[in-house]
């Protein structure tokens, strides 16, 4: 049995980003940039006004004050998308709107709130200074400069930045194809009658939804009884179709747990089996020629928590993300917790903000089969390996449960 940290680092050691592909800008959201991107033009591309006002030469305005106002002739009007054809003359000003190019001869823009207008004339009551209210050409980036680095997780702001740089397409890492296989002779799909001894198959649906929440698709979802020949056939098909195969159940030490031996017989190399965590002890991870196999626990809570803590970072790394460590914050524990030492526990909890502090309250229903707790949980409290007691009011580490985030 290995620790959670060891399992995590072994997974990351084996998962390499998939090859890149070119997608159109509108499909680049939530993907990871596969190359550095350089600016082809200066950004901003010209000196632009940052306000609605009047463009002037600051040298002509040095003396202006409320007692000594200075009147300028209104020479021109420049709006965004247009430009002045002639330079400003002495003691002349141009009406200018936000985003319009600053005319030649002007080095500052005075906001319209600080002038008085008369027909054909503008009166300034305060001095202006060079650069006032002007966004300088190239002040953000020079043509040829590095704008975005490979490995960037493309957020809506990332999409906007690619658009700003003029790119209609982006090179991003390919998304993994994922197959889900639930094993268990007791499983019945929702909507079917439940016969004695049977239970509903929730893992197929939970894992499929977890994949979907990350913006990915499952290429194959199957339920298989505990029969080694059938498991082998289905697993072969899954390994053919997918980059990542998620199997639930049949990976523990029971007489009917065939997943591990079937996987090994197909040429999957074991990276680890069993982790000192709760929920999620019977976890198997194996690799085969660029394919990744997760043998997840059958217990539904353990299966989804393992997905969140181990599979999601693997998927993020395959998609090209560099930092995939799940985000952890600290919070005040709402009620005391006890456990045995020797395993890290992830306690389902609700995270709330009270008096500008994070408070985390453990939920009841903590057994590995009790989905009601996980369905309400918004966080997992990390109960460290060797600890046996966490006092109410103490500070604990918490992993927020954002199912739709890559980390």
Residues that bind ligand AMP (CB under 6 A): 182, 184, 186-187, 199, 201-204, 248-250, 252, 254, 297-300
User: Residue 182 binds what, of Mg ion, ligand AMP, none (CB under 5 to 8 Å, by partner type)?
Assistant: ligand AMP
Smallest distance from the beta carbon of 225 to ligand AMP, in angstroms? 11
* 313: its two tokens: 């970072």
Smallest distance from the beta carbon of 217 to ligand AMP, in angstroms? 20
- Please say which residue, 68 or 255, places its beta carbon nearer to ligand AMP: 255
Binding Mg ion (rule: CB under 5 A), the pick from 53, 101, 184, 373 is 184
Binding Mg ion (rule: CB under 5 A), the pick from 249, 282, 295, 362 is 249
Single out the residue of 364, 388, 367, 387 nearest to residue 377, CA to CA.
Answer: 364
Single out the residue of 303, 264, 261, 255 nearest to residue 281, CA to CA.
Answer: 303
The reply to whether 300 sits near Mg ion by the rule CB under 5 A is no
Smallest distance from the beta carbon of 280 to Mg ion, in angstroms? 15
The three-class DSSP label of residue 187 is strand
User: Residue 392 binds what, of ligand AMP, Mg ion, none (CB under 5 to 8 Å, by partner type)?
Assistant: none
Write the CB contacts of 399 (distance below 8 Å, at least 6 apart in sequence): 308, 309, 326, 327, 328, 346, 379, 380, 382
- Total residue count of the chain as it appears in this document: 407
- Please say which residue, 147 or 182, places its beta carbon nearer to Mg ion: 182
Smallest distance from the beta carbon of 291 to ligand AMP, in angstroms? 22
User: Residue 366 binds what, of Mg ion, ligand AMP, none (CB under 5 to 8 Å, by partner type)?
Assistant: none
Q: DSSP letters of 52-117?
A: SEEEE-GGGGTT--SSS-EEEEEEEEE-TT---SSPPPTTEEEEE-TTPBPPTT--EEEEGGGEEE
Smallest distance from the beta carbon of 298 to Mg ion, in angstroms? 5
CB under 5 A: which stretch of 12-20, 108-116, 293-301, 327-335 binds Mg ion?
A: 293-301
As a three-state string, the secondary structure of 241-278 is: HCCEEEEECCCCCCCCCCHHHHHHHCCCEEEEECECEE
- Please say which residue, 72 or 346, places its beta carbon nearer to ligand AMP: 346
- Please say which residue, 238 or 399, places its beta carbon nearer to Mg ion: 238
- Please say which residue, 254 or 393, places its beta carbon nearer to ligand AMP: 254
The reply to whether 280 sits near Mg ion by the rule CB under 5 A is no
Smallest distance from the beta carbon of 141 to ligand AMP, in angstroms? 51
The reply to whether 298 sits near Mg ion by the rule CB under 5 A is yes
- Please say which residue, 101 or 250, places its beta carbon nearer to Mg ion: 250
Residue nearest to ligand AMP (CB): 298
Single out the residue of 280, 294, 250 nearest to residue 369, CA to CA.
Answer: 280
Q: DSSP letters of 300-329?
A: HHHHHHHIIIIIHHHHHHHTT-S--SPP-E
Write the CB contacts of 189 (distance below 8 Å, at least 6 apart in sequence): 200, 201, 204, 223
The three-class DSSP label of residue 287 is strand
- Please say which residue, 119 or 193, places its beta carbon nearer to ligand AMP: 193
- Positions touching Mg ion (CB under 5 A) are 184, 249-250, 298
């Amino acid at each position: 049995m290995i620790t959670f940290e060891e399992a995590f680092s072994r997974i990351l050691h084996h998962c390499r980003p998939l090859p890149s592909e070119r997608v159109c800008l509108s499909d680049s959201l939530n993907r990871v940039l596969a190359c550095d991107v350089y600016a082809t033009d200066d950004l901003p591309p010209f000196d632009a006004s940052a306000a609605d006002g009047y463009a002037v030469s600051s040298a002509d305005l040095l003396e202006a004050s409320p007692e000594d106002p200075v009147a300028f002739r209104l020479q021109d009007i420049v709006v965004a998308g247009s430009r002045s054809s002639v330079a400003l003359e002495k003691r002349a000003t141009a009406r200018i709107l936000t985003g319009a190019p600053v005319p030649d001869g002007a080095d500052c823009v005075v906001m319209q709130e600080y002038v008085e207008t008369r027909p054909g004339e503008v009166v300034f009551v305060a001095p202006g200074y060079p650069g006032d209210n002007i966004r300088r050409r190239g002040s953000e980036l020079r043509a040829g400069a590095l704008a975005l680095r490979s490995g960037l997780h493309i957020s809506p702001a990332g999409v906007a930045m690619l658009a700003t740089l003029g790119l209609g397409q982006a090179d991003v890492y390919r998304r993994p194809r994922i197959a889900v296989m639930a094993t268990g002779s007791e499983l019945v799909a929702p909507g079917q009658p439940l016969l004695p001894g049977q239970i509903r198959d929730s893992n197929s649906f939970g894992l499929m939804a977890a994949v979907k929440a990350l913006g990915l698709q499952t290429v194959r979802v199957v339920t298989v009884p505990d029969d080694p020949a059938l498991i082998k056939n289905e697993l072969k098909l899954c390994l053919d179709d997918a980059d990542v195969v998620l199997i639930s159940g049949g990976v523990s030490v029971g007489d009917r747990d065939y997943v591990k031996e079937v996987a090994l017989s197909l040429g999957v190399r074991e990276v680890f089996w069993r982790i000192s965590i709760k929920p999620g002890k019977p976890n198997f991870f194996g690799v085969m020629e660029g394919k990744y196999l997760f043998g997840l626990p059958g217990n539904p809570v353990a299966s989804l928590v393992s997905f969140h803590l181990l599979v999601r970072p693997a998927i993020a790394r395959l998609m090209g993300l560099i930092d995939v460590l799940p985000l952890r914050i600290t919070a005040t524990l709402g009620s005391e917790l006890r456990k045995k030492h020797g395993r890290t526990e992830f306690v389902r909890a609700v995270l709330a903000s009270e008096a500008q502090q994070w408070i985390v309250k453990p939920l009841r229903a903590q057994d590995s089969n009790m989905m009601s707790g996980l369905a309400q949980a918004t966080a997992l409290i990390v109960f460290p390996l060797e600890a046996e007691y966490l006092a109410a009011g103490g500070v604990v580490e918490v992993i927020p449960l954002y199912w739709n985030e890559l980390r």
